With several copies, the nearest count.
Chain A
């Protein structure tokens, strides 16, 4: 994606910048409006949880798989959480097949940290035999159609798949885990929402489209829990923010998160 800068025409770039001066956006949205959100959950039956999220034209999927594994030695009493995201070429001519690059890795690590810091999953309930056997929760996220702001779409898909996901009930028989017929919801404590705000010249815009991303100077992602605490921050892009901009962006993010939260699927159980 190193040649993203060549992707949109100078005319379009100018149009975006001219409109922004008047606090307008090329798709008619206000600066702090996000695109239409649609969330479909439990759609792939081999997954313990799944979600397809549409954020405007951006479409992504997330799937949750669970398996029984061994805990890390330094956290013997909590489950294991793995987040993986891959920018597959299906979703954009800018993405290439191959092992995850730095963009894929950043996206998955920001989602991972947001879920972890918010303590979304009640990790202690995932320990089956402390020190020996725990649930490992794998969250895999893929774009299907990339039209900007994968960060927030990925976060929303991961969170939606977890919220509506199920695990087999277990029974412990000495050192063996027996999976029972019944399924119970993945234990959930909190729900983080990811809000990315772009900076173009001195304007802050919510939920940038692909074309806006092409002219952005920098981006800031705030992860917000249901108590309006910040449980994750990630700045990216080749410019900086003033502290005032960052505080303003934080306030916008808190407001936007509250609105997005209404789209969430109902928590199971």
Chain B
């Protein structure tokens, strides 16, 4: 439960020096931490902290499709379930899936599927389970960053990782990686996911109002940030691999 501030008080998202309420510059990202292989049952998994967002993702598959009649003869069926835990937000969320969660599950699935060689595993399914433990603006992009790492961790062949960031608009200016307050009181939100190496945008949404020029500028800001996150994703994957190598060393 959040304390409701005096509503007559104006929320100031940007100070006279162009510094945001959490101290960041407009083009500054929040801290990101990714851990790989955090779950034992899941075939692949990852945990991400992106600012205050805390999200865990598990991937199962490729596995048998149930019920069977949903199997697709020429590719793997991708399923994705994005869920916010009831305690992840200011006012407790009911545990049953909200319309927002259902829409985001589809958008995230369609952000990830372009990266998966689905045609290599016909008649199977790959399941992606995303649980938001704490939410603070940008959970869908953080989820995508963790999920593509979890897919890689599951050994599922990928064309590229999928990397995502949101561009927001606060006090009329574009701002990278907006947080919860900026999302709530700002003027717009534009999440973008890309396969950085291949140059494809696989998630692209917006609400709020953007001019044509702002969209182009937003792509520029996003691309830069996405390359940074991409490195963090790869490092996270590598560190798990290195750890395994070390364990093998020790055991020898």
Say which size band chain B's interface belongs to.
35 or more
Q: Are A230's CB and B92's CB within 8 A?
A: no
* In the assembled complex, B113 has its CB within 8 A of some CB on chain A: yes
Name A49's closest neighbour in chain B (CB-CB).
B87
* In the assembled complex, A154 has its CB within 8 A of some CB on chain B: no
Name B81's closest neighbour in chain A (CB-CB).
A97
How many whole Å from B158's CB to the nearest CB in chain A? 13
A117: chain B residues at CB < 8 Å are 188, 207-209
Q: Are B201's CB and A240's CB within 8 A?
A: yes
Known: A63-B86, A93-B41. Is A235-B216 also a contact (CB below 8 A)? no
The one of A100, A237, A251 that contacts B110, using a Cβ cutoff of 8 Å: A237
Q: Are B204's CB and A146's CB within 8 A?
A: no
Known: A84-B86, A241-B200. Is A59-B54 also a contact (CB below 8 A)? no
Q: Are A45's CB and B52's CB within 8 A?
A: yes
Name B61's closest neighbour in chain A (CB-CB).
A93
Q: Are B205's CB and A65's CB within 8 A?
A: no
Q: Are A147's CB and B41's CB within 8 A?
A: yes
Q: Are B1's CB and A90's CB within 8 A?
A: no
How many whole Å from A67's CB to the nearest CB in chain B? 5
A100: chain B residues at CB < 8 Å are 95, 99
Q: Are A246's CB and B134's CB within 8 A?
A: no
- A27 to B122, alpha carbons, bound, how many Å? 33
The one of A102, A138, A142, A235 that contacts B92, using a Cβ cutoff of 8 Å: A138
Known: A105-B99, A236-B107, A238-B110. Is A113-B207 also a contact (CB below 8 A)? yes
B interface residues (Cβ-Cβ under 8 A, vs A): 1-4, 7, 39-42, 52, 54, 56, 58, 60, 63, 70, 72, 77, 81, 83, 85-92, 95-96, 99-100, 102-103, 105-107, 110, 113-114, 127, 129, 131, 133-136, 188, 190, 194-195, 198-212, 215-216, 219, 223
Which residues of A from 234 to 265 have beta carbons under 8 Å from B? 234-243, 246-247, 250-251, 254
9 new A-B pairs (CB below 8 Å) besides A246-B201, A247-B219? A43-B133, A44-B133, A90-B42, A93-B60, A109-B103, A118-B209, A140-B95, A145-B42, A231-B208
A59: chain B residues at CB < 8 Å are 39
* In the assembled complex, A232 has its CB within 8 A of some CB on chain B: yes
Residue of B86, B106, B110, B215 with highest tally of chain A CB at under 10 A:
B86
Q: Are B95's CB and A84's CB within 8 A?
A: yes
B105: chain A residues at CB < 8 Å are 102
Known: A46-B134, A232-B207, A254-B212. Is A90-B56 also a contact (CB below 8 A)? yes
Q: Are A228's CB and B103's CB within 8 A?
A: no
* In the assembled complex, A214 has its CB within 8 A of some CB on chain B: no
How many whole Å from A218's CB to the nearest CB in chain B? 8
